[in-house]
Each structure stands twice: as structure tokens, then as C-alpha cells.
Chains A and B, each alone.
Chain A
């Protein structure tokens, strides 16, 4: 009934790269934000894994802070999406050109 830490690391990195692929490949900003949430969760899984491996609850605290920051990030990201949609009537990240550099 033991699971090596490496398995958790592999699982976490697979989820993280799925999130990276979502951010890079999708054009819908909502799905991009959800992919960012996936990446946050992959990082949290690693924090909890190593907290468990070294029986030290600093990882739990940090995962808690990450959850809070992720909530703030989601709220601000969605507010930006809503604001862009209000002015552009379109939220496709390839079509929105108002902030082009």
C-alpha cells in the first residue's frame, strides 16, 4: 500500500502539461482560464505530496495560499473577459485586437 513520490510527480506534471497545452492551443479565454486552474491544481498536488513525504505541514499552508490566489486570479480574469466582451462583443483571443502590442 505504498505509492512512490515519483508517481505523484509524474501525475502532477502530466496534468500541468495538459494545462499548458490548453493555454497554448485554445482560443476561448474561459477554457484558457480553466487550463490555468488545472496548472494551479497540479502544483498543489505536488505541494501536498512533498508535505506528506517529509511529514511537514508547510506544504499544506502553501497549498492553501495557492487556492486563495487562484480564486483571486479567476475572479480578475473573468472580470477582464466580461469587460472585453462588453466592448468588443467577441472574446476570441485571436480576434480581440484592442490590446495589440
Chain B
């Protein structure tokens, strides 16, 4: 309980720091702290595999990608000039939207069975990490590769489409069009080079 409150204070503080930091690099550091705290929260929720995935995929892959792009964009010119502060104009609609959303949440959770469920200690579910126990890696893997095999394969497809899209968007922009004309030109150049070599 105490751990949950410490973690939630840490999560909210790092999220606010991430959103309000002046330099994007500080945002990345704040996001890293946020993801680490979230991974600890996942362990508390019996999701050990997801906690490790959180560290590997988010902190290891996505944040490194962010750092690379920030380094790429920040070299040479300064693309992030300080602009006018938008907060004063936006604060009233923001509070309005948040109140409406929390109202919906309260209405949805007001007297549902969800509020009656409590998260008990891990001893209720057996020792952590053993096969067949809820949340263990074995349990997760069995479900992923039997019942949820199709979503898993679709995810692989999504990732491949994303990679192709990224290469098309940000890859080498010079077009490579191997036409017959080019092939003939290459052939001619090669023949000339061979002839020249023969003369020597």
C-alpha cells in the first residue's frame, strides 16, 4: 500500500516533468524514470514478463530512438525556439475536460463490481515465477502461442509494415531505377574499362 503510494507519486511527478521540461532531452530522462517506476508497478501486479518487456522495449528501444532523433535534430541549427506560453489560454478548457472525464469514470465505477475487487498480496496466487501461476512467463507464453497466436502474428505484420514505412519515409531519398538504358550504359562503361585495361 505504502509502496503503491510512493510509486504513484513518483509516476505522476515524472510524467509532469516529462510534459513540462524545457528541453526534450530532459523529457526523455523523465520518461525513463516514469517507465522504470511503471515496470516496478507491473511487478506488483503479477506481470513480471510485461515488466521486463517494459524495460527492454520502452527504455531500451523506443527511448534510444527518441534520443537519437533529438541528437540528430539538435545538431547545427536549433529547431526548438521558445514560443508563447499556451498554458493560460488552455487551463480553463483543460479543467473542464478533465472534470467531464472524471465524472464519466466516477459514473462508470460508482456501483459496479469493479470497485469491490481488491488486489490481494501475491501469496494468494502462489510463489512468483512458477509455471502455470497467473502472470508467470510460462503462463504468458502458453497463452500467447496457443489462444492468442493470430494476434501475435498480426503484430509481426504490423511491425513489418511499420519498418517498411519508416524506410520509405526517412531512408535514402535518391531514387534507384534500374532500367534497360542504365543496364546498357553500365555494360558500355564496363566494356570500355576492360578495353582500356587491355591496352595498358
* A interface residues with partner B (beta carbon < 8 Å): 1-9, 11, 13-15, 17-22, 24-28, 30-31, 33-35, 37-38, 41, 44-45, 48-55, 57-58, 60-61, 63-65, 67-76, 78-83, 85, 89-92, 94
Q: Is the CB of B12 within 8 A of A14?
A: yes
Task: Tell me whether chain B's interface is mostly helix, strand or loop, or mixed.
Answer: helix
Q: B35-63 interface mask toward A, CB cutoff 8 Å, 1 = contact, 0 = none?
A: 10010011001110110011001100110
The answer to whether the Cβ of B92 comes within 8 Å of any Cβ in the partner chain is no
Contacts of B114 in A (CB 8 A): 5-6, 50, 53
Q: Which of A15, A73, A94 has the most CB of B within 10 A?
A: A15
Q: Is the CB of A27 within 8 A of B79?
A: no
Query: Which B residues, 116 to 157, have Cβ-Cβ distances below 8 Å to chain A?
Result: 117-121, 125, 134-135, 139-140, 143-144, 148, 151-152, 155
Contacts of A18 in B (CB 8 A): 12, 15-16, 19
The answer to whether the Cβ of B109 comes within 8 Å of any Cβ in the partner chain is yes
Instruction: Tell me, in angstroms, the Cα distance from A19 to B38 when the chains sit together.
Output: 15
The answer to whether the Cβ of B162 comes within 8 Å of any Cβ in the partner chain is yes
Number of A-B contacts (CB under 8 A): 214
Could you write out 11 A-B pairs with CB less than 8 Å apart? Answer: A2-B1, A13-B101, A22-B19, A48-B45, A52-B119, A57-B140, A60-B50, A61-B148, A64-B140, A69-B155, A89-B77
A72's partner among B12, B58, B97, B158 (CB-CB below 8 A) is B158
Q: Is the CB of B47 within 8 A of A75?
A: no
How far, in Å, is A22 (CB) from chain B's closest CB? Answer: 4
A69's partner among B34, B105, B158 (CB-CB below 8 A) is B158
How far, in Å, is B25 (CB) from chain A's closest CB? Answer: 10
Residues of B within 8 A of A (CB-CB), count: 78
Closest to A14 in B: B12
Contacts of B57 in A (CB 8 A): 67-68, 71
How far, in Å, is B154 (CB) from chain A's closest CB? Answer: 8
Q: Which of A3, A27, A53, A61 has the most CB of B within 10 A?
A: A3
Q: Is the CB of B121 within 8 A of A67?
A: no
Closest to A33 in B: B66
Given contacts A25-B86, A25-B90, contact A60 B140 (CB under 8 A): yes
Closest to B114 in A: A5
Q: Which of B4, B70, B139 has the most CB of A within 10 A?
A: B4
Contacts of A45 in B (CB 8 A): 38, 41-42
For the complex with contacts A17-B98, A69-B158, 14 further pairs of A-B residues with Cβ separation under 8 Å are A6-B114, A7-B4, A30-B27, A34-B18, A37-B31, A38-B18, A57-B135, A60-B135, A61-B148, A67-B53, A68-B158, A72-B162, A92-B79, A92-B80
Q: Which of A7, A60, A64, A85 has the most CB of B within 10 A?
A: A60
How far, in Å, is B170 (CB) from chain A's closest CB? Answer: 4
The answer to whether the Cβ of B166 comes within 8 Å of any Cβ in the partner chain is yes
